[in-house]
Structure 1
Amino acid sequence: MGFYRNIILPHLCDVSMRSPLLLPYRERVVGSAEGTVLEVGAGSGLNLPLYGAGVREVLALEPDPRLLEMARRNANQARRPVTFLDASAEAIPLEDRSVDTVVTTWTLCTIPEAAHALQEMRRVLKPAGHLLFVEHGLAREESVCRWQNRLTPFWKSISGGCHLNRPIRAMIESAGFSIDQIHTGYAPGPKPMTFLFEGSARPNR
């Protein structure tokens, strides 16, 4: 259990997001953000220092009071202005077409109504905006999928609602996005927990 908590599943313990195994993924995704950025599931704010000069401001949405307080303390490391939103992803308190980029990093696995949350992300994105993501979810191999389906009921009960078996690409496309690019594969660790989707998508017109 210690291996999972410290390396593979950052939502079990937010401090594990500091793992050097996960940093390259976050750097690529966050480093591509531009303009006004909505980060959904900002956690304790570990992504905040990674936003570059192309970002005007970061709107950091986080519903967990404990993590939100940690993020506020960590905001002094951010290079761009940060505004915190104490809200859920299923009801984003922003106007339609008001942000240039939405960022999610290992977030969609835990949102209770993830399909509705993705529709909300599409609603607040400008027509030319992008959803940038790195998420873990349902693998390609049938044998791994079977294990993911078997483990998820127990796993989500001990990991803050994390689902191992969400079909990330299909969820994004079903919410009204077109995939611009996507890379899939396994991070180091047990296959049921480490199949990743990394890429970008844009709202359908």
Structure 2
Amino acid sequence: MNFYDRFILPPLLDFAMRQSQLLAYRQAVVPVARGRVLEIGIGSGLNLPIYSGDVELVGLDPSEHLLAMARVRAAETRTKVDLLQASAISIPLEDAAVDAVVMTWSLCSIADPLAALAEMRRVLKPGGALFFVEHGLSPEPSVAKWQHRLTPLWRHVAGGCHLDRKVDDLVRGAGFVISELHKDYAQGPRPLTFMYEGRAWAPGKP
């Protein structure tokens, strides 16, 4: 990991993700998670104040610097939090270990999103829920064209973030069943702001 990724990018990500317009998306997916919850890409812990107080939370992130910020926020909440430095491609939890998974603007930066989603399904209990809000590929060809053009450069300056992933197809491709899905633009440049907000279920395993 280079100097930019270790020391410059974490505070930039924390600043960018504190946009007020993102709070409504967080409030739509975070408080509904119950039981033992795994948050993928917990980052600097911006979701922590939104969880229900009776949640037992496991927060996963590969960045030690973002996790240091999350620890500060965790100390200010009443949520029980266990923070783990690890990749979503290899989640250090047993099979069927959690009741729910929460993912907010994380899938875009995971190197192998299908492998990560398969890991999320593995650690979910049968019938467990994945709650997500992600940005990704627009259905408008003109916008999608720019997303494909910009992604090779964008991912180098934004921590591996891809603008052109079709989130619902990835979630279904990992074996989830999507029960709720809302897609629309948030405020801002269209190549960066097409949102997928939803809920998916992990079918029972044999």
After TM superposition, the score normalised by the length of structure 1 is 0.92
Work out the CA distance in 1 between the residues paired with 2:122 and 2:137.
26
Long gaps (5+) in structure 2: 1-9
- Name the SS for the 2:108 alignment partner: coil
1:86-122 CA deviation, whole Å, 9 max, x = no partner?
Answer: 1110000101011001000000000111110000000
State the AA in 1 paired with 2:103.
T
Query: Is the CA contact 1:51–1:78 (under 8 Å) kept in the aligned structure 2?
Result: no
1:1-36 CA deviation, whole Å, 9 max, x = no partner?
Answer: xxxxxxxxx995212222111001001110111110
Range 13-22 or range 146-155, more displaced:
13-22
Work out the CA distance in 1 between the residues paired with 2:102 and 2:176.
14
Q: CA deviation at 1:68?
A: 0.8
What is aligned with 1:5? none
Work out the CA distance in 2 between the residues paired with 1:130 and 1:143.
34
What is aligned with 1:148? 147
- Name the SS for the 1:132 alignment partner: strand
Work out the CA distance in 1 between the residues paired with 2:181 and 2:133.
9
After TM superposition, the score normalised by the length of structure 2 is 0.91
Range 74-83 or range 88-97, more displaced:
74-83
1:51 aligns with 2:61: no
Work out the CA distance in 1 between the residues paired with 2:62 and 2:173.
24
What is aligned with 1:188? 187
Query: Is the CA contact 1:51–1:79 (under 8 Å) kept in the aligned structure 2?
Result: no
Aligned positions of 1:91-170 closer than 5 A: 91-170=90-169
Work out the CA distance in 1 between the residues paired with 2:29 and 2:12.
21
Q: CA deviation at 1:73?
A: 1.4
Counterparts in 2 of 1:34 and 1:172: CA distance versus 1, 3 Å: same
What is aligned with 2:3? none
Percent identity (aligned): 53
1:181-200 CA deviation, whole Å, 9 max, x = no partner?
Answer: 00000000111100000000
Query: Is the CA contact 2:96–2:123 (under 8 Å) kept in the aligned structure 1?
Result: yes
- Structural RMSD (CA): 1.4
- Name the SS for the 2:20 alignment partner: coil
State the AA in 2 paired with 1:132.
F
Long gaps (5+) in structure 1: 1-9
Q: CA deviation at 1:128?
A: 1.8
Tell me the number of residue pairs that the alignment of Structure 1 and Structure 2 aligns: 195
